[in-house]
A and B are shown apart, each in its own frame.
Chain A
Amino acid sequence: MARLELRNASKYYGKTVAVKDIDLVVEDNEFFCIFGPPSSGKTTILRLLLGLVAPDEGEITIGGAAVGEQGPKERNLAMVFQNLALFPHMTAGQNLAFPLVERKLEKAAITARVAEVAETLHITPLLDKLPAHLSGGERQRVAIGRALVRDPAAFLMDEPIAALDARLREEMRVELKRLQRELHHTIVYVTHDQEEAMSIADRIAVMEAGEIRQVGTPAEIYNLPNSRYVAELIGAPPMNFVDGTLAEGGRFEGGEVPLSIVLDGAEGAGPAALAVRPEDIGIDAAGTGNGVEAAIYEVEPLGAFTIVDVSLGEQVLKVQAPGQPQFTLGEGVRLALDPDRCHLFHGETGDLIRSAR
């Protein structure tokens, strides 16, 4: 398996920027996620790597060698799409064998390789079935298997499990991770689902409008987002933001919200946004603790935890409380905010002023 690199790569379609100045290294044996909203350039990066389009600027290397004008076949990368294109008239086994038949391998070698891959993916019992007789998850496995038989230099996956239902997605992402670990593959994986990216990736690149905003491990991206943009995209329920003003000495005052808090290490003065994750806010009964007074707006019980929506001035904040606590609508509570769990972003640019500690 191979290390992949994009250096200063840009791609334009007419005046539209698809991706701009992409510097990205995917290490050998790394599970690397490209995450971002629709049209942020995720798929363009895959297409550049695959050789379906050539960069207008910059360079791409695979396994240390510049690929230049090489076409998709010479690059030996395997692609798995969301819409798995299995041949409906061929059995699962014939679908798996197809890339090898196309390469005119010997029959015995093909049979052995298909058996080996089927074993790895736990699909041996399915080999004689037609795609129409397979479940969505089984079809996805066959599609991945078909990419796997070729022994490619790296895998590129474009939302490969997005079309499956929630339960199956949960299973498949564990399965993909297991495969990657056992087979030591390099995988570049595109998704718009932050939970999927967090769960599966060794590292994540967060994209915005054709550019990379942050690269890091899931924990780094979640705990230390480098901009309001990244903070907004990662985490469910989403992070809370309170717009206000930062004064000298690190004191933040909410604008439409009666909230005042001192953040050590927050320098400068001007418009700012305080950001805190729902699970980092505590709820105390009214009259206890020394937190900010708020009122219960709505309660969303989710079983393992409860999302408590509280109104604070003109704003509604989301608090994620463990377990199944009971509240009455309109009830007064106090919110416990730990300055060390709060981030501060610039009010206009969204740049980071100060991280949580």
Chain B
Amino acid sequence: MASISLTGLTKRFGDLTAVASLDLEIGDKEFVALLGPSGCGKTTTMNMIAGIETPSEGQILFDGRDVRLVPPNRRKVGFVFQNYAIFTHLSVRENLAFGLKVRNLPRAEVEQRVGAMAALMRLEDRLDWPTAKLSVNELQKVAIGRSAITEPEIFLLDEPLSNLDAAFRAFMRTELKHLQHQFQQTMVYVTHDQIEAMSLADRIAVMDLGVLQQYGSPIEVYNEPRNVFVANFMGSPSMNLVPCALTGGDGAYALDFGEGGSAPVDHDDLKRRCRAAREPALIFGARPEDLDLAPSGYTGPGIEATVTFVEPIGPRTIVHLAAGERRMKIAKGKHYGIELGAQVKAVLPPGKCHLFDAGTGEALGHA
């Protein structure tokens, strides 16, 4: 059992506030990703959980117990860093066994657990290799295995996959998730990569400039971003965020996209969002995969634009559009053919439109 509760957690370095009054509940056996750009406070938060940094203010509870006075080595947390910390003079077997030996476990048990971990990490045929001969990918497997083998109640990982090549990263993502489902540890995972956070975590804490922006399941954070920062940070290619002006009233709204034309608001979900607007200056949001190009003869609402660039990236084709200074992207399937310079209309997708206040960046009318 190991739940983590952070209340009003703050860390200041001189004048700089690295983490500002963070409240976060991490459940037992939960996989939580701390996600954000560099400088958002994610690593500082993790270091405070580990006991490497002391909070300036606030509280950290493990299973309801305050751990302020518990030193790092007695917090029962396992650690994996981006720069794998392994003993280079020891073999893979000795590295894996290290954490168990210092705990004076019987030799037979150490051997059995090393064997099991090696099988899990697919390192069986490397056990007697000196670590100097391993590839970067294998080194990181040893680092993860070495920490996981002690079965800490809480497992903290700081960008553990960012030095690995793309294909191996995709493989390790799956394996880490599977490892957590098997060992049922509480995992806190720091990353700047939204794909990693989405694919691994039960819940994602999106951070920016030391402040928690949103905390929710990957799908919640993706489908219902609370503000422009989260909307823009999650997803690749990123959400279209198009400035517009709200016109009309009494339920008969329209969104004015300047050179992109004016689009009457004709579905209830979007009307509800318009109704929540306090100022006419808005940002319209739609994911590239939710926007579609109007078929010929379509007269419904949409944004008029010109095709400026077509980007084929494997399974998808990204069509870039411009309406004056406003830019949009639409994700289509493989082999999507369209002429550069074509005049098109992007249809506002029913039920999949977002609206944000242009001043505050806050989402309007979320359910």
Selected contact of A195 from candidates B177, B200, B222, B314, CB within 8 Å: B314
Which 3 pairs between the two chains have the least Cβ-Cβ distance?
A: A300-B199, A303-B222, A279-B315
* Interface membership of A235, Cβ < 8 A: yes
* Interface membership of A78, Cβ < 8 A: no
* Interface membership of A166, Cβ < 8 A: yes
Selected contact of B167 from candidates A178, A232, A303, CB within 8 Å: A232
Residues B235 and A304 in contact, CB atoms below 8 Å apart: yes
Residues on A with beta carbons closer than 8 Å to the beta carbon of B219: 301, 303, 324
Residues B178 and A303 in contact, CB atoms below 8 Å apart: no
Which of B68-76, B102-110, B304-312 contacts the other chain?
A: B304-312
Please give the residue numbers on chain A whose beta carbons come within 8 Å of chain B beta carbons, in ascending order.
Answer: 37, 165-167, 170, 174, 177-178, 193-195, 198-199, 218-219, 222, 232-238, 277-279, 297-298, 300-305, 307, 309, 316, 318, 320, 324, 329
**Closest residue of chain B to A222, judged by CB?**
B314
5 contacts between A and B (CB under 8 A): A170-B237, A199-B311, A234-B314, A300-B177, A309-B174
Query: How many contacts between A and B, using CB within 8 angstroms?
Result: 101
* A contact face: mostly helix, strand, loop, or mixed: mixed
Residues on A with beta carbons closer than 8 Å to the beta carbon of B165: 37
**Which of under 10, 10 to 19, 20 to 34, or 35 or more describes the interface residues of B?**
35 or more
Residues on A with beta carbons closer than 8 Å to the beta carbon of B287: 303-304
Residues on A with beta carbons closer than 8 Å to the beta carbon of B331: 304
Interface centre among B222, B223, B314, B320 (most CB of A within 10 A): B314
Residues B313 and A303 in contact, CB atoms below 8 Å apart: no
* Interface membership of B232, Cβ < 8 A: yes
Alpha-carbon gap, A218 to B334, bound state (A): 12
Residues on B with beta carbons closer than 8 Å to the beta carbon of A174: 309, 311, 320
**Closest residue of chain B to A237, judged by CB?**
B170
* Interface membership of B181, Cβ < 8 A: yes
Alpha-carbon gap, A166 to B235, bound state (A): 11
Selected contact of A194 from candidates B166, B195, B236, CB within 8 Å: B166
Residues B166 and A236 in contact, CB atoms below 8 Å apart: yes
Selected contact of B312 from candidates A37, A218, A278, CB within 8 Å: A218
* Interface membership of B193, Cβ < 8 A: yes
Interface string of B216-243 (1 = CB under 8 A from A): 0011001100000000111111100000
Selected contact of B308 from candidates A178, A307, A318, CB within 8 Å: A178
Residues on B with beta carbons closer than 8 Å to the beta carbon of A301: 198-199, 218-219, 222
**Closest residue of chain A to B320, judged by CB?**
A174
* Interface membership of B173, Cβ < 8 A: yes
Selected contact of A170 from candidates B177, B238, B308, CB within 8 Å: B238
Residues B314 and A300 in contact, CB atoms below 8 Å apart: no
Residues B181 and A329 in contact, CB atoms below 8 Å apart: yes
Residues A219 and B335 in contact, CB atoms below 8 Å apart: yes
Chain B residues 159-186 with CB under 8 Å of chain A are: 165-167, 170-171, 173-174, 177-178, 181
Residues B312 and A303 in contact, CB atoms below 8 Å apart: no
Residues B167 and A238 in contact, CB atoms below 8 Å apart: yes
**Closest residue of chain A to B239, judged by CB?**
A303
Alpha-carbon gap, A324 to B193, bound state (A): 19
Residues A300 and B173 in contact, CB atoms below 8 Å apart: yes
